[in-house]
Copies of this chain bind each other. A is one copy, B any other.
Amino acid sequence: MSKEFHRLISLEEALAAVLAHRPRPSAATVPLTEALGRVLAVPAISQIEVPGFDRAAMDGYAVRALDTVEAREDRPIRVRLVGAVGMGQSPDVEVAAGCAAEISTGGMMPKGADAVVMVEYAHELGDCVLVSRPAFSGENTISAGSDIGLFEPVLRAHTVLGPREIGVLAALGIEQVPVLNLDVAVASSGNELLSPGSPLKPARVYDINSYTVAASLRELGAAPRHLGIIPDQKDLFVKELRQAADNSDMVIVSGSTSAGRGDVLYEAIAELGQLLFHGINLKPGKPTVFGLIGETPVLGLPGYPTSALTVFRLLAAPAVMAALGQSKSSTVLRGRLGRPLRSESRRQMLAVALSRGTVHPVDKGSGSITTLARADGFLDIPPSREYLAEGEEVEVHMLAAAQEPDLVLAGESCPALDRAADSMPGLRLLSEGSRQGLKLVRQGVADVASVTSALPGLDTSGLVPLLAYQRDLGLIFRDRPEGRFVGWPKGSAMADLQEGVFRRLALTGSRQGTARSHGAAAAWVASGRADLAFGSRAAAGGLQFRAETGDRIELLSRSDRLGRACDLIAFLRSLRLPGVAVEPQMPE
């Protein structure tokens, strides 16, 4: 069962191969209302003049400028009002010498007139208009074609269509927009995979990669065709792969990194077309496969979700962007390492989160969904770098658009803080326990730490106390405080408190699982998966609660982040939750 890679190539070689065989987009036409984010296939060359006629640029009176030469405020000249120009209509009046016609902004200039006198300098008097200021020829008018000339190229081919560009196309009268269509078939492969929406079965996991890859393709302006899961059996796999290659401009398959699996794709490409490489000297990304079936490039990504997205960014995104005539496929942001890093002697792409300019690894294991959820991007660590120091400046290749929250709060989980996060869109909560909260605040990743008094000896020196509250902790149950229970993660403050209470009360039910938040603890009971939980009164909701102990939650901030915390403090002061008592103003 050992895995064979014929020759591991470098990332540079791999990228060169994928770019050399990048897909060829076809042209398609979409209605203007669906063109947002698409890529223009051909230059937009104006087939009209904009405006298409001489227009009034102001509300007023269309006149012959020559007639108004003598007009003065104290000696207005008098012209005869011969009619009005209706909006959107060819004028049915003509302005002869000594005449004027009422006109609105955007109205078509009537024959004979060459200027518009603004309302402010005109006064209607019976069938006449008194003009109190001379107008020059062309004043307050916009001449035909002055904005966009006939046959003028207005948007280049390969322009990404945003709201402004869509407006420009509308102005040119273009309702059917020629866009580049890059049809990319996306599939996942693996016998253990199930489609989301179907009931979970033993030993199976939900397919993730076909969804993340399709969404990433859409973000880049390509048109993903979501094939979902294709089966691992060779003959079925070959059949589906051939169909996908025939019907698409590119095929992206992600499979598990395990040996048997990778080989199915590798063998299928070799059988149907030409294998160009199999194996990159890169972590993650070793089992990456690339080849051609007919003219269609086929890329195989590793199976772990963060690995799949990382290799997608490294290889697929540049090829897709080049195919669509775009120059940049990724954003690189700079940040400083929040802790030192050890790397391997292989080139490594390390998943990291980026917060407040501080970079911290999120690699809980590359198969982890938590890693996927937290990874803002990755570091590209060369084989020569085995140690990176804390504070070192690094480049983060972003997987997602950077969304800088207004305030990052890290530490002890609490329903009161959950409420704040639900109400304050700019607040990001990292409920990772008191110790980790303090660490993240010191690293600058978070602005505020929430710390429980139940963990003695925590070092809060140098941090500014913002607010503190007492909360009731106790048993959450449906009928009686006993039976099967849900616990907290080992080593957490809540786990210690729960253990003490359970020992004191001699509670001996069996442990059903682990909750990482008060809400989850209560949900175990509410759902019947457990009879008993330990947590905050505020989380008990409609369940019964018996207070057994309590703790004090203190919020602490770095002094340079105080300003950010004001809204949170105000919110918590006004919050009324059962079993939560905010202490009076903190001492200065």
Interface residues of A in 151-181 (CB under 8 A from B): 151-158, 160, 162-176
Chain B hits for A258, CB < 8 A: 59, 87, 104-106
Interface of A, helix, strand, loop or mixed by DSSP: loop
Asked whether, in the complex, the Cβ of A147 is within 8 Å of the Cβ of B200, the reply is no
Asked whether, in the complex, the Cβ of B153 is within 8 Å of the Cβ of A369, the reply is no
Asked whether, in the complex, the Cβ of B162 is within 8 Å of the Cβ of A215, the reply is yes
Asked whether, in the complex, the Cβ of A108 is within 8 Å of the Cβ of B164, the reply is no
Q: Chain B: which residue is nearest A429 at the CB level?
A: B156
The reply to whether the CB of A289 lies closer than 8 angstroms to some CB of chain B is: no
Asked whether, in the complex, the Cβ of B167 is within 8 Å of the Cβ of A517, the reply is no
The reply to whether the CB of A523 lies closer than 8 angstroms to some CB of chain B is: yes
A34 CB, nearest partner CB in chain B, Å: 9
User: Which of these, B107, B205, B373, contacts A52 with CB under 8 Å?
Assistant: B205
User: Which of these, B108, B160, B172, contacts A203 with CB under 8 Å?
Assistant: B108
Asked whether, in the complex, the Cβ of B372 is within 8 Å of the Cβ of A164, the reply is yes
The reply to whether the CB of A364 lies closer than 8 angstroms to some CB of chain B is: yes
Q: CA separation between A226 and B32, bound complex, in Å?
A: 11
Q: CA separation between A212 and B36, bound complex, in Å?
A: 10
User: Which of these, B48, B205, B260, B519, contacts A200 with CB under 8 Å?
Assistant: B48
Q: CA separation between A372 and B218, bound complex, in Å?
A: 26
The reply to whether the CB of A406 lies closer than 8 angstroms to some CB of chain B is: yes
Q: CA separation between A163 and B317, bound complex, in Å?
A: 13
Q: CA separation between A119 and B216, bound complex, in Å?
A: 34
Asked whether, in the complex, the Cβ of A367 is within 8 Å of the Cβ of B57, the reply is yes
A237 CB, nearest partner CB in chain B, Å: 14
Chain B hits for A207, CB < 8 A: 170
Number of copies: 2
User: Which of these, B86, B108, B426, B513, contacts A149 with CB under 8 Å?
Assistant: B513
Query: Which of A150, A216, A429: most chain B Cβ within 10 A?
Result: A150
Q: Chain B: which residue is nearest A214 at the CB level?
A: B33
Query: Which of A145, A153, A164: most chain B Cβ within 10 A?
Result: A164
Asked whether, in the complex, the Cβ of A87 is within 8 Å of the Cβ of B57, the reply is no
Q: CA separation between A192 and B89, bound complex, in Å?
A: 7
The reply to whether the CB of A197 lies closer than 8 angstroms to some CB of chain B is: yes
The reply to whether the CB of A549 lies closer than 8 angstroms to some CB of chain B is: no
Sample (23) of A-B pairs whose CB atoms are under 8 Å apart:
A36-B215, A50-B205, A52-B205, A87-B256, A88-B190, A88-B203, A104-B259, A106-B303, A108-B203, A147-B367, A150-B524, A151-B524, A152-B520, A163-B211, A163-B212, A164-B212, A164-B375, A164-B400, A167-B309, A168-B373, A171-B208, A175-B198, A326-B425
Which 6 A-B residue pairs are closest in the complex by CB-CB distance? A175-B197, A88-B192, A151-B523, A327-B426, A88-B191, A327-B425
